[in-house]
Structure 1
Amino acid sequence: MEVVQMWECRISNGQTIIPIFYDISPSDVKHQAGHFETSFRQHEKDGVSSNTIIKWKEVLRQIGGLSGYHLDNVYGGHESQLVKGVLRRVRQLLKKDDQVVTDKLVGIDLHVREMMRKLGVVYNDGRAIEVCGQDVRVVGICGMPGVGKTTLAKVVFNKMHLLFDECSFLPGINSKGITFSQEMLIADLQKEKPAPLRSSDEGTKEIASLFSRMKVLIVLDDLHEVEQAKALAEKLSWFGPGSRIIVTTSMRNVLDGFDNRPTKKYKVEPMRYHHALQLFRKHAFQGDALQDVSEYDYLSTDIVKATGGLPLAIVVAASYLCNNKDDIRIWRNTLEFLKDHQANEVEAAFRVGYDSLDVPTRKIFLDIACFFIGKHERILSYMWEACGYYPARGIKCLREMHFLEIGENNEFRMHDLLRDFGRKLVERKDLHERCRIWNHSDAVSVLKDSKDTRNVEGIGLAVEEGCIVCFTCEEFHKMSNLRYLRLDRANIQGNTENLLPNLRWLEWSACRLISDLANMHLKKLVILDLSWSPVTEDSQVWRQIMEKVDELKVLNLQGCVQLPASLNFRAPINLEILILEDCTQLSQIGPFISDLKNLSSLNLRKCIGVRQLPQDLCCMKSLRELLIDGTGIYSICFSEGSLENLEILSACDCQYLQDISTIGRLRSLSSLALDGADIDGLPYTVELLQKLRRLSLRNCWKLGKLPTSIGKLELLEVMDLSYTGIMKMPWSVKDLKNLKTLKMAHTPLRKFPEDMVNLKNLEEIDFSSCRNLGVKFAVIFQDYPL
């Protein structure tokens, strides 16, 4: 009768029944055999009604078919193991191990599916079905602070922890300490109260010995150091077959602390605008109707843009406004506040990472935030090396923390909120005590004031075109520690002798009087940018300047249209980057170029008068980058052994370029771009470019086919053949084993080798507007996992 009542509760209220078959067979219960059969006969003799007996039998039949626990068969009669199994099941059903997650999530499904794929978990209709394979796997969730890494880990954990023997979610490891985290991990997996450990070494030994036969799911949240990873899960053999470890971190290098194996990574990016707006509305409005919908919508849009798609910033702002839905003035003030400030929670998240940086890396971070977003990584490194800031180390650290990104053209990128965070750190000091000043009006105020400004390391003065602004030498003499100066369109009056002795980078675009440079102290200068200035090679002043800058590494003369047709000035012998882009009068480069033994990059882009490459280039062993896009070059001819270290050759939009017959002699090329060239094919010797990773022939209309030797470029990863005349690909493309991206949009392609499906590294294929490709092509790629 009790079992009948349980079953009725299950039917009417959805309650859960867990049968425990203790000294009885589930089959006997289901079919009423053995003692059950004997008991029912006795009930019949005792006069129990047939309807009641039928009801009892039916319920027992249903109970016997449920998934339960059989002491004899499953646990071999060990009651303690049975108790542990039942306890585990009850905890799972009651969701005792579930992490608390808001019900206002937006756009999480795509992230969850990708995480399940990397974890090797079968995932359908929002449910984790099965863990594939017996390997122990680590997957790291990385991204900048506040982007939602922990939230994603919680959602994934809740969906899949039922598939494991035991599970543990260790929050905030970085703030709790290693030993405490070890104690909690051991307690979670053993389902016991935490026991104190004497040291982290003891904890490591405990973990290594206890769980090697247990299939576990572990989340290590907010790891910051490799030592934390090693103390908790250094060896994957510490855990049983099929175990999974999820790590959330803002430091990518901590993912290298697991068994010296490559760790799968999933990077969480800031939210796209439509998802960010949806998240904001869920938290700010919560379904309430508003009176002035139009203005609230307008403000919502601008507030979301001000947060930069960072979930933490969105939720903080929206939650505050939720309590002030009826006061439009607060919404307006909040928008203005967010344009100049950050919520405390957001700043705190950034501050943890910033405080962990060493002093040189902090300086690099602040330099980028204040001045150098969009600037080329290599150019900036020269200044930081000269200042002793160890740029290779610092940039790597900032990238691993997701404080910094490097774009496709090696330019620095930084999230707007991180940029603002860095600038606010500088602005907290009084204007005259700040180390960096990027605002023009602030810079003018500091220069015009008589106060000491030795703290200033960088200053930006951007004068609008058409304005005439003059500064005196006395104003700059106070800035003895200045290492970066931007002086667009401004003049300096007075005696410039020994001015700015520690200057490393002078950015003086559209400088009106080159003579202002003649007497300046330029001995430590490593970067000189005089783009769009009246520079002429025959100027005595220019020769004086060049004699001073012995340490110069980068010379930018972009747009210096007064440079004569034949350029042959004495250049610093240590120069490594020479930029002559947009020097439209230039047609020849004299033999001085061969004296630049250290030159690694030569930029001649849009020098339309240049029709042939200097012969002296051939012997330049340090040259690694040659940019001749938009020039009048008609032939790229090199002798055997020329430019033996050249890695990048960009000759896009060279509409007269026809002869590339000797391109195969550039054996070190990794990137070749000939977009828009007047070529009708590639030489067969292209197979000699064994280091080539990127090949772009976009807009080469005359190009009708590729040589079969193209298949020998085993390292090729990207090939862009869009807007060419290629109708058929050679069979050898099947051998491009490392190809990741193939673009052939707007080509007359008719047929494609079916063996192409064997290229397992393919990630992107673009055949848009290839109207001659038939249905068969679609069938070939229908199951391809792009």
Structure 2
Amino acid sequence: MEEKRQVAGIEKDAGADDQVNNIMSLMNINDKDKQILVIIHGIGGIGKTTLAKFIYNQVSCDFDVLGGLQLLQAKLISDILKRELEDVAFINRGIEFFRDLFCNMRVLIILDDVENAFSVQKLVRDCFDCFASGSRILVTTRNSSVLEESPQIRTYNVSRLDTDQALQLFRQHSSILNPSSRSTIELLNPASNSMTGLPLVIEIMGAVSNGKSQNAWDHFKVCVEFQLKRWDFQSILEEGYKTLSYEQQQIFLDIACFTVGIDSRIAWYLWYDTSFLPSCEILTPLAKIGENNQIWMHSMLRQFGREIVCQESHTDPRRRSRLFNHEIALSTIKQKKMQNLRVIDLTGCADLLVTPKFSGCQNLVILILERCSQLVKIDHSIGDLKCLLSLNLKFCTELIMLPVEVGRLTALKELLMDGTSIQEIPISIGHLKQLETLIASNCFSLSQLPRTICHLTNISLLSLDGTRISALPNSIGELVRLKHLSLRDCRRIRKLPNFIGNIGRSLVELDVSGTGVSKFPDSLKNLQNLKVLRMDSCFFTEFPPDIGELTSLEEIHASWCRSLEGSIPSGIKKLHNLRILRLRYSSITSIPAEIYQLSNLQTLDLLHSNMLEELPTLPPSKRIRL
């Protein structure tokens, strides 16, 4: 029997199938006539978030709008739920946001790790009825009384693992020679050690056993057996932490203090110049690589790691190896030089108006200023950070300019400034030869790109969604390593430069959805490595005639193109890799018979394509939405 399954890249642990089915039954997705809220509750470490992720991936395609775990991390719902109870004005603004944005939409929202009953009640009472019938909200919480049950509100208590499930999960995460020995089975028996019914405890024990001999594992069992019976989770963590090597301990503390939610490819640079580069095996399950390559660690493990750091010096934070408290970190940085400081994370420092001087932090690798909502100025000394690899300014809503000294960050690989008020990017950005990622989505005041952007020859991801940019410079064709170009909702862009075809060897994804583009340039056919083409809600009057030349295409998204009419070119038969073709709410009149040759086609979405005269023979056993 298969011991481990994967859904959307997430491992499904033992015993999850039945619980997922039970929750799905409570959600009753097929009932489109009512809104339902399902509360998943249980003690910490029992797997509530994991179950929520499986549900999200399983049903998300059936909804108009998704507000899942990513949305929470984007600080939309989480900001509302984590505010103090008396901050009613803020919550009310959040409710009004929902009314305006989601009115009459069938939505799926997942609220993870909610303890504030007041805020959930506020959301349900004032906002739930604004969503269309068929909407669903899923809440995970340790507090079983967060809301009372009703026909609209249903609860599910996550059960502990039984002995077989515990042993099966242990096998998934363990490498010891004999996990089925009698002593191990007795240790994992929830009847005698009920704490071993928690998946988190089993995963930790499995991780500790990796790379150890049977004798070492037997010694560890003796150490933790007593703590299991006492429900002493802290002691179990301490025993597990002791079994890690020094290098593994340092990585664990770095993740607990700083890198949760950070792209793992960026976090790796923390350890790049050391002798103990981590592997995926070291991260799992003490920390995991989740969606979008983000590092994830359970909140209980994260708290444990931070407590270890605080114990390094109870009275003088400057003597600690890591500073993760915003106020303490700022105060310490402003008082002595910190040559060994590698990461500054000031996420959510709402009172920060001007950054501190960075001259004493010249070895800094990661600088995170995300959601510093009052930040208006970045100190010019930022140019001294010659080792900086990642600069995160996301949702610094009052920030209107970048200092010209940003151009001196010659090692920078990632610049994130989504949701800022930045009006222009300084021309000095052309000096950032190592830059790989530039994201300026929802910078509503940004109206143009500097001409020096052509010098960013290492850039692979450029996202300008929702900006006021009206045209791309011809020099865009010189970005020969660009893989992902997103112009979604750049409504002022009317056409693409013909030079875009010059990046045909690298471009993998092109998104012009919601722009004013009505026709692709002739050079589109040169994008031979293009796999995903998104052109939703555009003004195309006909399907791109050369579409068949893009033989690497796997996805075409052309929904809500109301002006799109006529027939799909027969050349589409050349797209043997095509998996997804979405044409909902278009005026397409015919689909060529050659579509039968697309043996890899999995999804053909023709919802509300009312002008379609007939449907040709389709490849067998495929998903079709009409």
The one-letter amino acid paired with 2:478 is: S
CA contact (8 A) 1:675 1:699 kept: yes
Percent same amino acid among aligned pairs?
22
Match of 2:520 in 1: 682
One of 419, 422, 432 as aligned partner of 1:596: 432
Q: Using the alignment, how far apart are the partners of 1:508 and 1:741 within structure 2?
A: 38
Task: State the SS of the aligned residue for 1:589.
Answer: coil
Q: CA deviation at 1:144?
A: 5.0
1:638 and 1:665 in contact (8 A); partners too: no
Q: Does 1:670 align with 2:508?
A: yes
Distance 1:362 1:311 in 2: 31
Deviation digits for residues 709-742 of structure 1, max 9, x if unmatched?
Answer: 2111122112211111333211111111111222
Instruction: Please show how residues 2-401 of structure 1 align to structure 2 within 5 Å.
Output: 143-147=11-15, 301-304=155-158, 312=165, 343=197, 347-348=201-202, 350-356=204-210, 359=245, 364=251, 372-385=259-272, 389-391=276-278, 394-395=279-280
1:660 and 2:496 correspond: yes
Q: Deviations over 1:289-340 (max 9, x none)?
A: xxxxx99999994422x76999937999xxxxxxxxxxxxxxxxx9xx99xx
Q: C-alpha root-mean-square deviation of aligned residues, in Å?
A: 4.6
In the alignment, which of 507, 518, 534 is matched to residue 346 of structure 2?
Answer: 507
Q: 1:313 to 1:545 in 2, by over 3 A?
A: same
Deviation for aligned residue 1:367: 5.4
Of 364-373 and 527-536, more deviation after overlay is shown by 364-373
Shift, 1:527, TM fit: 0.7
Aligned to 1:453: 313
Q: Which of 595-604 and 767-776 deviates more?
A: 767-776
In structure 2, relative to structure 1, the CA distance for the partners of 1:369 and 1:769 (3 Å cut) is farther
Whose relative contact order is higher, 1 or 2, with alpha carbons under 8 Å and at least 6 apart?
Answer: 2
SS in 2 for 1:707: coil
Distance 1:422 1:351 in 2: 13
Deviation of residue 611 (structure 1)? 2.0
How much has 1:768 moved relative to structure 2?
2.1
Structure 2 CA distance for partners of 1:594 and 1:698, relative to 1, 3 Å = same
Q: Does 1:714 align with 2:582?
A: no
Larger Rg: 1
**Residue in structure 2 matched with residue 230 of structure 1 by the alignment:** none
After TM superposition, give the deviation of residue 573 of structure 1 in Å. Answer: 1.8
TM-score (norm 1): 0.48
The question of whether the paired residues in 1 share the 8 Å contact of 2:468 and 2:490 is answered with yes
1:650 maps to 486
The C-alpha deviation readout for 1:643-678, integer Å capped at 9, x for no partner, is 111111111111111120322222211111111011
Whole-Å separation in 2 of the counterparts to 1:729 and 1:302: 48
Q: Return closer, same or farther for 1:694/1:354 CA change in 2, 3 Å cut-off.
A: farther
Which residue in the other structure is 1:411 paired with? 294
* Distance 1:643-1:768 versus aligned 2 partners, 3 A rule: same
Q: Which residue type is aligned with residue 522 of structure 1?
A: C
Query: Residue 448 of structure 2 aligns with which residue?
Result: 612
Distance 1:718 1:363, change over 3 A: farther
Q: TM-score, normalization: structure 2?
A: 0.59
Q: Does 1:569 align with 2:405?
A: yes
1:83-117 CA-partner distances (Å, limit 9, x unpaired): xxxxxxxxxxxxxxxx9x9xxxxxx9xx9xx9xxx
Match for residue 737 of structure 1 among 554, 557, 576: 576
Go from structure 1 to structure 2 and tell me whether the alpha carbon gap of 1:767 and 1:699 turns closer, same or farther (over 3 Å shift): same
Tell me by how many angstroms 1:579 deviates.
1.9
In 2, Cα distance between equivalents of 1:353 and 1:673: 41
Aligned-pair distance for 1:554? 1.0
Give the Cα separation in 1 of the matches to 2:531 and 2:496: 18
Supply the distance in 1 between the matched residues of 2:160 and 2:152 (Cα, whole angstroms).
15
Deviation at 1:524? 2.3
Cα distance in 2 for residues equivalent to 1:356 and 1:738 = 40
SS in 2 for 1:649: strand
Offset of residue 525 of structure 1:
1.2
AA aligned to 2:517 is I
Q: Give, in angstroms, the shift of residue 497 of structure 1.
A: 0.9
Q: Flag the 1:402–1:612 CA change in 2: closer, same or farther, 3 A.
A: same
Q: Distance in 2 between matches of 1:604 and 1:742?
A: 28
SS in 2 for 1:765: strand
Superimposed CA distance per residue, residues 541-578 of structure 1 (whole angstroms, 9 cap, x where no aligned partner)? x123432x221111122344554557523442211112
Does the CA-based 8 Å contact 1:605-1:627 persist in structure 2?
yes
One-letter amino acid of the structure 2 residue matched with residue 637 of structure 1: P
Show CA shifts across 1:591-642 (max 9, x none).
Answer: 2111111111112222222222210011221111111111111112324851
- Unpaired stretches in structure 2, ≥5 consecutive residues: 18-50, 59-147, 170-189, 212-243
Match of 1:550 in 2: 386
Q: What is the alpha-carbon distance in structure 1 between the residues aligned to residue 418 and residue 536 of structure 2? A: 22
Contact 1:504-1:524 at 8 Å conserved across structures? no
Q: Distance in 2 between matches of 1:739 and 1:402?
A: 38
Relative to structure 1, the CA distance from residue 784 to residue 311 in structure 2 (aligned partners, 3 Å threshold; closer, same or farther) is farther
